[in-house]
Amino acid sequence: MHDAVFRNANLATMRQGSPYGSIEDGVIAITQNRISWVGPRVEWSGKAREEHDLRGAWITPGLIDCHTHLVYAGNRAHEFELRLKGATYEEIARAGGGILSTVKATRTASEDELFDLAQRRVRQWAREGATAIEIKSGYGLDRDTELKMLRVARRLSGLKVKTTFLGAHALPEEYQGRADEYIDLVCDEVLPEAKKQGLVDAVDAFCERIAFTPEQTRRVFDKAKALGLPVKLHADQLSDLGGAALAAEHRALSADHMEFSNEEGIGLMKGAGTAAVLLPGAFYFLKEKQLPPIDLLRRHGVPIALATDHNPGSSPLSSPLLVLNMACTLFRLTPEEALAGMTRNAARALGLQASHGTLETGKQADLAVWQIGAPAELAYAIGANPCAGVMRSGAFRREVP
């Protein structure tokens, strides 16, 4: 006896082997928060305590946003406005703009203020069918604020949250000219404390000319490894610093951005099981010109994940569905690749592939229900939200808050 069964549904299981792994006129059964049966109706002969008729709606795995900076205070709308009025970079910096303005606001905000802001934001993801999200620290850049951000991320409800420590995001003002000393603080004090308090699932770093060098990134990764934590990398967004190879060398879960990554690094990623996370929102918002190397990723068989990169500076994007569309229009992914990018491959980028990302027996019952006629509509439409409900850990909510 199953706990619940959803019938009269079309299933995009996102299992590999057929387009969308789709099963038309399918049945999915749930028992104790896990998928206990999935397949075509003609093969179903089970019984369930609870029955739901989905009247031809589509079910996909719940969407997974595997790269966000969602916990922060303030925003950068003023900076956006100044830039569009023709202000120079220096003028914006003088007016208090840039990442350090977000650091200042986040340091000042109380933990409850930060929590309220973030909890309000995540509701938008749930409304669009997301059931899991990754959230990075990195606007504290000091011990107490980094820990505060991670605690806030851990408290959020409505979605499964994976936390990533990104102490090596930017150099705080008080360490200008002393980047190595700041990396000492990150490695010797902040990261071990975050780990000790159980606040961190993975470790990330921003390896870029305007942030940290490959050498400094290596130190952070070595510390993460010593603490038994997996790593991820903001790699090759603005220039090719060998980020893809560096991520592969440390068997990173993912290398993210990757606009300037080279083929050698991409080949190494395949061998290391490292996923590529592409972020079309930042590409769009910054009006970047350099496309990520999609064909190389395809040719080498590197799994391509997609994410909002939600952050107040370069990607104030709160719509997983718009990410699917942008990945197709800007990066020329197919709608199927895009959906895989926010389900199966996003699970992989978070190390969740054993329990999330596809509709398969034994996996977590995290799924989304859509009023659509075909899965391609999810990436095709702009600004429509056909989500009719989400199920997380077996609890179905037709009314998404």
Minimum distance from CB of 201 to Zn ion (Å)? 16
C-beta closer to Zn ion: residue 208 or 309: 309
For Zn ion, what does the binding mask look like between residues 255 and 294, x meaning CB under 5 A?
Answer: ----------------------------------------
C-beta closer to Zn ion: residue 21 or 313: 313
Residue at shortest CB range from Zn ion: 309
Instruction: Give the range of 20-28, 236-244, 301-309, 352-360 binding Zn ion by CB under 5 A.
Output: 301-309
Minimum distance from CB of 317 to Zn ion (Å)? 11
Q: Are 121 and 153 in contact (CB under 8 A)?
A: no
Residues 325-384 close enough to bind Zn ion by CB under 5 A: none
For residue 189, with 0-12 CB atoms within 10 Å meaning exposed, 13-18 middle and 19 or more buried, which class applies?
middle
> How many whole angstroms from its chain centre is CA 90?
32
C-beta closer to Zn ion: residue 201 or 309: 309
Closest by CA position to 100, among listed 348, 323, 339, 313: 313
Minimum distance from CB of 309 to Zn ion (Å)? 5
C-beta closer to Zn ion: residue 309 or 337: 309
CA distance 125 to 401: 10
Instruction: Give the range of 186-194, 265-273, 302-310, 361-369 binding Zn ion by CB under 5 A.
Output: 302-310
C-beta closer to Zn ion: residue 309 or 366: 309
Strands 22-31 and 34-40, by their bridges, are antiparallel
Q: Are 33 and 393 in contact (CB under 8 A)?
A: yes
C-beta closer to Zn ion: residue 30 or 307: 307
Residues 303-332 close enough to bind Zn ion by CB under 5 A: 309
Minimum distance from CB of 71 to Zn ion (Å)? 13
Minimum distance from CB of 345 to Zn ion (Å)? 17
- How many residues belong to the site for Zn ion (CB under 5 A)? 1
DSSP string of 264-294, one letter each residue: HHHHHHHHHTPEEEE-HHHHHHTT------H
Q: Is 266 left (phi over 0), alpha (psi -120 to 50) or beta?
A: alpha
Q: Where are the alpha helices (DSSP H) in 237-342?
A: 243-249, 263-272, 280-285, 294-300, 320-329, 335-341
Minimum distance from CB of 218 to Zn ion (Å)? 19
C-beta closer to Zn ion: residue 166 or 376: 166
Minimum distance from CB of 321 to Zn ion (Å)? 20
C-beta closer to Zn ion: residue 127 or 232: 232
Q: Is 383 left (phi over 0), alpha (psi -120 to 50) or beta?
A: left
C-beta closer to Zn ion: residue 128 or 309: 309
Minimum distance from CB of 260 to Zn ion (Å)? 15
CA distance 401 to 399: 6
CA distance 292 to 271: 19
217: its two tokens? 């990134």
Minimum distance from CB of 78 to Zn ion (Å)? 21
Q: Which residues bind Zn ion (CB under 5 A)?
A: 309
